[in-house]
Amino acid sequence: MIMVEPWLMVERIVMSRDEIKNLTSRAELHDEHSSAVAHDVLFAEAWELNSRRLTSARGNKELFSPDTLVMTDLAHLSLQKPADGYSGKSAKDRPSGLEKSTQTKLDQTRTELLNAAEDVIQSVGAKPDSEVMLFQKNLREMESGMKERHLSTKEITDCMQTIKRLVTESGTTDLPTSARFGLARDLVKLFRDPTDTTQLGNTCAANAFLVNALWRQPSMIGKLVADSGLTGKFTTKDGTVIKTPDSAIHRPSGRPWAEHLAATMIVNVVWQRSTGLDPRAKKGDIVYDPFFTEDGKTGERLVIAGKPFKGYWNPKSKSYEGADSPHISTSSFPGVFEQISGRRPDNLLIGWGMPKSGDAHLYYSSPKDLENKLGELKKKGNGFPLIATVDVRNPPFSMKPSSPTSSHAVNVIDFNYDPKTKQGYVWVDNTWDKSQDHSGKKGELARLTVQEFYDASREYREKK
């Protein structure tokens, strides 16, 4: 069994029985769990000793003594900080009641997931030891990333339970164990960093929604992926059964599977509940297929009762256009969010001159108005991210003015005001590629000033 709670690792994995006994005695504690304060003393000394030992082992390639309860390939895990700040706090500062119960549930779910994953890896993995370590590392980074986004312990627990479903349940889609585990691993990576997604073809709107939902309430995407992958369908809040296209159930080439499945189902939540493209269509007739094949060509298509949508007729060019597009608008996203999660979102969209719709839209009329709106959300502490639309013919995107598709969905992840420069700066996630994110992080582009973002969100006008 793999112990995952850090202080348990110190006691039960890294330290020897004699060392634990000695430290317990020095803390004047017969049972190391009977006193919170005494346990903190034990933890502090154990942590210090353990850190020195691991540093030595790493630097000199030394092995531990025979009576030390440790596997050298798992030793690095014990350097993880205590979850949720439990250790190092006095008894009066420790969570109690429901909060403590929720944390206990997370610990239990994490342990069950890791044990189940190890069983699967041992049965199908080509290099089981290294694969176990990699899964542990990714899961630990996932949990850390979710805490950095200030997600609740319950939300993190729900996400781990969803991953465990994929690892342990066979479902009705006949996915082999190795495939289900691959989907679970992809989901862990999605939960870890929502901004590390890349759109397929014209799915910028779907991917922007995906990034936003993963940041706000990742468990809703977890359930969407697990239900769609295991059962071939997802039931929305209004009771509509959204069928999973066959091409989305199996791993695609060149794209993370969980991201591909989630984006495909987001588009289908829009269209399988609609009859908008054809007056003869019934609910469920319109399906978005990312890999529809016709006349030897494969690409994304809306399919109406088994026949591909030709696109919209352009009287100027006298031809159909937009056949290879999901044709979804960001204005549909508050409803999509509600149908997947079961609740109406707050402040999901922001845009220039955007008409107000319920409680889901924020709009601005000037750079100063935009700065004020973002500043107000920043003070509240829970208003981001926001889905916005930019015209990619404008800087800094600067596609060719003749580009047939100019409207592009992005996410405003964060905002900060710099008193030195007296400017507001916006972190913009761009689903073209991670390197195209305006985050200011290493390997990515600089954050945009409020003025730059405002200008990008306006309709492009060719300079004369």
pLDDT in tens, 347-371: 889 987 755 555 557 888 899 999 9
DSSP element (H, E) containing 406: none
Q: Assess whether pLDDT exceeds 70 at residue 81.
A: no
Mean pLDDT of 287-308: 85
Are residues 373 and 358 in contact, defined by beta-carbon separation less than 8 angstroms? no
- DSSP assigned state of 416: E
Compute and round to an integer the Cα radius of gyration of the chain.
25
| pLDDT band at residue 298 under the 50/70/90 scheme | confident
Q: What is the C-alpha separation between 36 and 90, in angstroms, rounded? A: 7
More confident residue, 198 or 373: 373
pLDDT mean across residues, the chain: 77
Q: Give the confidence band of 294 by pLDDT, cuts at 50, 70, 90.
A: confident
Instruction: Report the alpha-carbon distance of residue 141 to residue 425 in Å, rounded.
Output: 27
- Average confidence (pLDDT) over 176-183: 93
Q: Give the pLDDT score at 9.
A: 36
Q: What tens digit of pLDDT does each residue of 45-61 get?
A: 454 555 444 444 434 33
pLDDT tens digits, residue range 98-134?
A: 555 677 899 999 999 999 999 999 888 667 788 888 9
Position 14 scores a pLDDT of: 46
**pLDDT at position 252, please?**
80
- Could you tell me the CA-to-CA distances from 252 to 90, 264, 287, 291 in Å, in that order? 51, 12, 18, 9
* Surface-to-core class of residue 257, CB atoms within 10 Å of its CB (0-12 exposed, 13-18 middle, 19+ buried): buried
Which whole number is the average pLDDT over 296-320?
A: 82
Question: Over the stretch 202-244, which tens digit does the pLDDT of each residue have?
Answer: 788 899 999 999 999 999 999 999 999 999 999 999 999 999 9
CB-count exposure of residue 172 (10 Å: 0-12, 13-18, 19+) = exposed
SS3 362: strand
pLDDT tens digits along 313-331: 778 777 777 777 888 888 8
Residue 446 DSSP code = P
| Helices of type H across 200-251 | 204-216, 218-231, 246-249
Q: Tell whether omega for the bond before 345 is within 30 degrees of 0, i.e. cis.
A: no
User: Tens of pLDDT along 425-452?
Assistant: 999 998 888 888 888 888 888 889 999 9
Residue 7 has pLDDT above 50, yes or no: no
Q: Which residue has the tokens 């992005």?
A: 410
pLDDT value at 80 more than 70? no
**pLDDT score of 69 more than 50:** no
pLDDT of residue 209: 95
Angle made by CA atoms 93, 98, 104, in degrees to the nearest 5: 85
Q: What pLDDT is recorded for position 442? A: 84
**What would the two tokens of residue 296 be?**
């030897």
Helix/strand/coil for 464: coil
| pLDDT tier, 23 (very low <50, low <70, confident <90, very high otherwise) | low
Between 199-203, 247-251, 271-275, 383-387, the lowest mean confidence (pLDDT) is in 199-203
pLDDT at residue 253 in the model:
75
CB 173, CB 230: distance < 8 Å: yes
Structure tokens at 330: 């960001």
